[in-house]
């Protein structure tokens, strides 16, 4: 019978070489990672700095689907989904602010005309604005459902209409207008006139 210490002595060099191999492998590091086509990997994204407290909204992005939804199943679109994002330029991240949102829907091409005909208008303020607050991947925003049934009804000939929005801050700051006009489709094909 062998003495245990003799067996350990014989295995000692093998254990030492394994430990040394692991230490060498652990010390190896990749200093530069590249994509499969040889370009360096892009830097890891980091969140944009938040706007400072008390920043005043001075820009607005308005996002709208191209066609309203038909919520009552009569074949006529009646509900416009609109998302508004407020910014305090030059800060790149969206903010929330107290105030009222006013949406105006015009026949196509009349939104910028002086005295253009307004098809429908919605004013959202107070608790309704707070209830519309949401968080998207890009930050805080407001989501609204504007219903034609609340004003002019949904039965129209197929046409395009232009939606614009303005934000009226409660603190008396200047009104903020949407960053352009958003065109949507209203009505239904085959109708020659609204009923």
Domain boundaries, the chain: 59-186
Q: Which range is most confident: 15-19, 76-80, 148-152, 191-195?
A: 76-80
Q: Note the Cα 96 to chain centre separation in Å.
A: 13
**136 DSSP assignment:** E
pLDDT at position 188 is 80
Q: Any idea which fold 59-186 has? A: Immunoglobulin-like (2.60.40)
Q: Note the Cα 71 to chain centre separation in Å.
A: 24
pLDDT at position 129 is 96
Q: Is the pLDDT of residue 84 over 50?
A: yes
Rg (CA), the chain: 31
CA angle 109/85/125 to nearest 5° reads 85
Partners of 82 in beta bridges: 64, 144
Residue pLDDT, tens place only, 113-158: 777 789 899 999 999 999 999 999 889 999 999 998 887 777 777 8
Q: Assess contact for 108 and 116: CB atoms under 8 A.
A: no
Q: Is the pLDDT of residue 7 over 90?
A: no
Pairing between strand 59-64 and 79-87?
Answer: antiparallel
pLDDT at position 30 is 56
How far apart, in whole angstroms, are the C-alpha atoms of residue 78 and residue 76? 6
Q: Assess contact for 107 and 117: CB atoms under 8 A.
A: yes
Cis previous bond, 143, omega within 30: no
Residues sharing a CB contact under 8 Å with residue 95, sequence separation 6 or more, in sequence order: 51, 55, 57, 86, 87, 88, 140
Give the mean pLDDT of 146-173: 87
Nearest to 83 by CA among 145, 154, 40: 145
**Above pLDDT 90, what percent of the chain?**
40
Q: Is the pLDDT of residue 21 over 70?
A: no
pLDDT at position 52 is 81
């Amino acid at each position: 019978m062998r003495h245990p210490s003799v067996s350990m002595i014989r295995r000692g060099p093998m254990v030492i070489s394994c430990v040394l191999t692991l230490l060498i492998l652990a010390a190896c590091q990749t200093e530069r990672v590249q994509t499969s086509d040889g370009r360096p990997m892009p830097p890891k994204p980091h969140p944009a700095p938040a706007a400072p407290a008390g920043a005043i909204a001075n820009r607005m992005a308005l996002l709208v689907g191209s066609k309203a939804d038909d919520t009552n199943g009569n074949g006529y679109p009646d509900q416009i989904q609109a998302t508004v994002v407020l910014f305090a330029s030059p800060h790149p991240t969206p903010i929330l602010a107290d105030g009222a949102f006013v949406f105006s829907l015009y026949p196509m091409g009349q939104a910028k005309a002086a005295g253009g005909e307004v098809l429908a208008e919605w004013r959202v303020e107070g608790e309704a604005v707070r209830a519309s607050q949401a968080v998207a991947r890009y930050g805080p925003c407001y989501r609204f459902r504007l219903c034609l049934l609340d004003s002019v009804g949904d039965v129209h000939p197929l046409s395009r209409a232009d939606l614009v929005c303005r934000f009226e801050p409660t603190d008396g700051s200047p009104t903020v207008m949407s960053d352009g006009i958003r065109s949507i489709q209203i009505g239904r094909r085959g109708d020659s006139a609204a009923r």
